[in-house]
Amino acid sequence: MAVTEGESPAEPRVTVRRPQRADARRNFDALLDAARELFATDGANASLEGVARRAGVNIATLYRNFPTRAHLFEAVYLDEVEALARIAAELDDHSPWDALVTWLRRFVGYATTKKAVYDAIAHNEAMFVTCRDIIHAAGRPLLERAQHAGEARGDVSFDDVLFLVNGVSGANFVQDAQRDRVLTMALDGIKAQT
């Protein structure tokens, strides 16, 4: 995880854990992937039976891993946040601008998932605060690196960038290609002018 020196984001408090056995872990991960896809397309009211079917498991397996819909929402949300942190840590070999853009494009996927599940897990304020800290610890150094390299505008804060990208993510685009074009325009606003 790309944590700024001295920072140590707390672990989010979650009610489900990834199983230890390999076969159970595969089912768990398949359920998370299926839920993420269905929540992104169908929203928070996506059918749990549909999630199980898409994951290739029965509904009992879903409930064994995620006793309630809220447990599944929390696990999907946390998995997205952890993926953002992992991706940030893997971008050291990219140029500063490419690293920032790669991470922000991934952030758009996270924001879509967050929008789909936010109302369902809004009761877990502590988890949101911790996840926000993890996101900042992962993404802020990427922006700062691009700013120090003269590739990103020096007058924008990480919060500014998140608001901009969240605005793009929150729009109801007709096609993914349209969302990608609008995101590219937004990223041009962050890029340093030469």
- Residue 15's pLDDT is what? 62
CA distance 164 to 167: 5
The proportion of the chain whose per-residue pLDDT surpasses 90, expressed as a percent, equals 52
List the domains of the chain with CATH numbers. 16-67 (1.10.10.60), 69-190 (1.10.357.10)
In the prediction, which pLDDT does 131 show?
85
Cβ(183)–Cβ(108) below 8 Å: yes
Segment 20-54, tens digit of pLDDT: 788 889 999 999 999 988 987 887 888 999 999 99
Query: Tokens standing for 98?
Result: 């490419």
Confidence tier at 2 by pLDDT (50, 70, 90): very low
| Rounded mean pLDDT, 101-124 | 76
The per-residue pLDDT for 159 is 95
The whole model's pTM is what?
0.77
Q: Above 60 in pLDDT, residue 126?
A: yes
Is residue 141 scored above 80 in pLDDT? yes
106, two tokens: 């991934």
CB under 8 Å to 150, separation ≥6 — which residues? 192
Cβ count near 61 (within 10 Å): 17
Least confident of 58-67, 102-111, 164-173, 178-187: 164-173
Q: What is the mean pLDDT of residues 98-120?
A: 81
> Is the CB of residue 18 less than 8 Å from the CB of residue 28?
yes
Q: Tell me which residue has tokens 């990608």.
A: 180
The fraction of the chain above a pLDDT of 70, given in percent, is: 86
Average pLDDT of the chain is 85
Q: Kindly report, residue by residue over 63-93, the tens digit of the pLDDT.
A: 999 998 888 988 888 888 899 999 999 999 9
